Amino acid sequence: MAMSTQLESLLYLLSGALFILAIRSLSSPESARLGNLMGAAGMALAIAVVLVDVSGAMDALTIGLIVGGIGLGGGIGALIAFRVKMTAMPQAVGILNSLGGMAAVLVAAAAYFSPVAFGIGEPGNIQVASLFETSLGIIIGAITFTGSMVAFTKLQGLVSGAPTVFPFQHYLNGALAVVLIGLIIAFCTTQSLETLLGLIVLSLVLGVLVILPIGGADMPVVISMLNAYSGWAGAGVGFTLGNTALIITGAIVGSSGAILSYIMCKAMNRSLLNVIMGGFGSETDASAVYIQEERPVTRGSAEDAAFIMRNATSIIVVPGYGMAVAQAQHALEEMSDLLKDVGATIKFAIHPVAGRMPGHMNVLLAEAGVSYDDVYDLESINSEFARTNVAFVIGANDVTNPAAKSDKSSPLYGMPVLDVEKADMVLFLKRSLAPGYAGVENELFFRDNTMMLFGDAKKTVEGIVKAI
């Protein structure tokens, strides 16, 4: 039996409040676990309300399909959560974003084919407002689906992370956007199946074209932006369904993702439009080992690094994606504990766009047991490098490149970076002198106060631990 409208609205409001509290809790590592639990509780409550509300109209087959769908989807989600490594979490987020987008497309299509069941009219006579909402849900959802899939293939290394650009690309995207507007008008007017299919296909193509020209350096922003898209797509479908919980949830996801995208862009000193237009950043092969002999560098060993840090009183560790790839966070935590035992002060400096998604480094360090009190963001620690004996950079590249402050011709120019070069000594762990994800050579490698430690980050740190 369906519950009363008042009770349903109250429970949806409670569900929305849990989502808001969840996002609030995710702002701090100490409360992030509780935030995840509150978010899951809010979603479970919303699902329960929907099931109770429609239970009176369900037959045994429908109930079986729903239970089977929840079991299958929940099982796959649990499997992903248990098996995906933290280094692959950005790719996992990309896949999950794509599923959210496709869900919006499928629900919108279902509303078109069964308008009576959705309470939006009859076949061939659907309410114009609902057709417009359906169009938006399809467009945003389809762009999210293919865009997220492209982001996944880049992050997974299935295709090059370099921007894929061709002449008149932006003009083509603009023309497709204009055609989409025309298709929305035509769909709301004719309600034809052909127009609906045109909307879906064109939106899927546009999703690919929008993300292809975006390079690897912008991937953290892309993941955040696509997350926002999936939220707005869900909110659009929520209006079609008249479902308060979906509207609230979608709006929260969309707005929080948009705010995070803005924060990430600010950290890179770029506009969101500049990121969307793409063309910045290229990927290099992280496993390739080559040394540019024409520019000499100071090379060191794990024993050299251990000696230097044993005699240091202050050390700032700067982790990057290289640490994640090598899974060196546990060895790094062991090294920091040993150095604390000999009297050194250890701090960790996290750049807002370090890694391949927002908070990537924070999660890895938390997984290794690094104290939250030892982790600082760029703004709170940048002034301390000038008073630090050793800056220990492990797999970070673009976020430490001094060219961002001095070379106006560099694509990185204007991006706030960590001032590691101001430390008395810089120990830089990297496989080679290859450029970072943005494809820009790091001048820090060749500074007089920099010692390069070439090789696998985990093995190198383990060597340092042994030497200490």
Question: Residue 411 has what DSSP assignment?
Answer: T
Take residue 143 and report the two structure tokens written for it.
């762009």
Q: DSSP per residue over 309-363, as a string?
A: HHT-SEEEEEE-HHHHHHT-HHHHHHHHHHHHHTT-EEEEEE-TT-SSSTTHHHH
Query: Is residue 355 predicted with pLDDT exceeding 80?
Result: no
- Mode of pairing for the β-strands spanning 125-126 and 121-122: antiparallel
Query: Is residue 185 predicted with pLDDT exceeding 70?
Result: yes
CB of 390 closer than 8 Å to CB of 312: yes
Can you state the angle between helices 169-190 and 128-156, rounded to 10 degrees?
150
Q: List C-alpha distances in Å: 257 to 26, 190, 207, 222, 386.
A: 13, 34, 18, 10, 35
Confidence of residue 293 (pLDDT cuts 50, 70, 90): very low
CB of 110 closer than 8 Å to CB of 242: no
206-227 residue pLDDT tens: 999 888 887 666 677 788 888 8
Take residue 380 and report the two structure tokens written for it.
């709170």
Q: Which residue is catalytic, options 53, 218, 398, 419?
A: 398
Beta-sheet strands, E only, within 32-124: 121-122
3-state helix/strand/coil string of 252-314: HHHHHHHHHHHHHHHHCCCCHHHHHHCCCCCCCCCCCCCCCCCCCCCECCHHHHHHHHHCCCE
Tell me what the mean pLDDT of segment 427-448 comes to: 84
At 263 the pLDDT is 78
Model confidence, pTM = 0.74
108-159 residue pLDDT tens: 899 899 888 888 889 889 999 889 988 988 999 999 999 999 888 887 778 7
Chain centroid to CA 154:
13
At 291 the pLDDT is 43
227-283 residue pLDDT tens: 888 888 888 888 877 778 788 888 888 888 888 888 777 766 667 776 666 554 444
Flag the least confident range among 68-72, 239-243, 331-335: 239-243
- Mode of pairing for the β-strands spanning 390-394 and 375-377: unpaired
Query: Is residue 184 predicted with pLDDT exceeding 90?
Result: yes
Tell me what the mean pLDDT of segment 415-435 comes to: 90
At 161 the pLDDT is 66
Confidence of residue 375 (pLDDT cuts 50, 70, 90): very high
CATH of span 302-467? 3.40.50.1220
User: Closest Cα partner for 46 from 24, 22, 26, 80?
Assistant: 22
Q: Which residues pair with 426 in a beta bridge?
A: 391, 450
User: Closest Cα partner for 229 from 270, 271, 272?
Assistant: 272
Contacts of 437 (CB under 8 A, 6+ apart): 161, 215, 216, 217, 219, 281, 282, 283, 284, 321, 397, 398
Query: Is residue 105 predicted with pLDDT exceeding 60?
Result: yes
At 410 the pLDDT is 75
At 348 the pLDDT is 96
454 three-state secondary structure:
strand
At 2 the pLDDT is 55
Confidence of residue 289 (pLDDT cuts 50, 70, 90): very low
Active site residue 398: yes
Q: Which residue has the higher pLDDT, 241 or 370?
A: 370
At 419 the pLDDT is 94
Query: Is residue 356 predicted with pLDDT exceeding 90?
Result: no
313-330 residue pLDDT tens: 999 999 988 898 888 999
Question: Residue 429 has what DSSP assignment?
Answer: E
Q: Which helix (H) or strand (E) holds 180?
A: helix 169-190
Measure the CA–CA gap between 460 and 305, rounded to whole angstroms.
10
Q: Which residue has the higher pLDDT, 354 or 340?
A: 340
At 462 the pLDDT is 95
Query: Is residue 284 predicted with pLDDT exceeding 50?
Result: no
Count Cβ atoms below 10 Å from residue 88 Cβ, excluding itself: 16
Q: List C-alpha distances in Å: 90 to 31, 99, 153, 164, 221.
A: 21, 15, 11, 20, 11
Q: Which helix (H) or strand (E) holds 394?
A: strand 390-394
CB of 87 closer than 8 Å to CB of 324: yes
